[in-house]
Structure 1
């Protein structure tokens, strides 16, 4: 049974971390061939001259971050929760084949929705780290979450 989190369950300062997942060369190339077919993502030989070896597309890292988020054991927003967008997205370090990435989610803000009674806005910071605890991606996002007894 899923233990959904309603607006009242979020508080500034809460933090959730996920287990890590390995980024494989095959997955990096497969993703990039479909969505970001640049040489540094799809051709290991060309990538050697461009970036010192194959690197994952930033969009692949962002997609894996989302996968980590929705499969995390302690993060299940209530049905009806919708993303409102993000304020910023930064890629700080390349992700390479064999890297193991994990996500830390920090709740930065919670407030009642001014336009939708019975709902609240939660602002989060998602930081994706590699196996060396180096941040590889950061994004600040907001979601609208129903209140328990709306």
Structure 2
């Protein structure tokens, strides 16, 4: 997987996330070899691991596992946001949707839109940002989306 991402200029804390804010997460191109390798390890259905069998499937060719698509989106989110933030993990994701098949050679672009930001009532040093994550192909079609809850540290008092 090759990526091209933008990076913020400073460390991000919960206070740096604002409802309506959009993070452009960069792009990546997915290869047949990556699709097959992921499929063999994690989701060995024929249309993820065998090009000949995939031609006979309802998809008419090799496609990435939906879980692979989610992992690609997660990597873009990490490169663009998490690695330059005070990330404290995540309690989970909701509304996972695989909307279009991801095929070899697809150029995928990630985006995260902040839906909510809440300081923790019990842990004042952290809070939660709720983010709608999407991955689009080069045709502008959304191929996967989910809503994630991300925990971030709060900016220390100066």
TM-score, L = length of structure 2? 0.88
Deviation at 1:75, TM superposition (A): 7.0
- Matching of residue 19 in structure 1 with residue 21 in structure 2: no
Matches of 2:26 and 2:150, distance apart in 1: 23
Superposition misfits of 4+ residues, deviation over 4 angstroms: none
| Superposition map of 1:101-120 within 5 A | 101-120=108-127
Structure 1 residue 108: Cα displacement: 0.4
Q: Which ranges of structure 1 fall in alignment gaps of 5 or more residues?
A: none
The two structures have a TM-score, normalised by structure 1, of: 0.92
| 1:61-105 C-alpha deviation (Å, 9 max, x unpaired) | 111111111112797321x52111012211000000010111010
* Number of matched pairs: 149
2:106 aligns to what?
A: 99
DSSP 3-state at the match of 2:104: coil
User: Are 1:88 and 2:106 an aligned pair?
Assistant: no
Distance 1:6 1:130, change over 3 A: same
CA RMSD of aligned residues (A): 1.8
Question: What does residue 5 of structure 2 align with?
Answer: none
Unaligned runs of 5+ in 2: 1-7
The residue that corresponds to 2:53 in the other structure is: 46
User: Are positions 1:128 and 2:128 aligned together?
Assistant: no
Does structure 2 conserve the Cα–Cα contact (< 8 Å) formed by 1:16 and 1:75? no
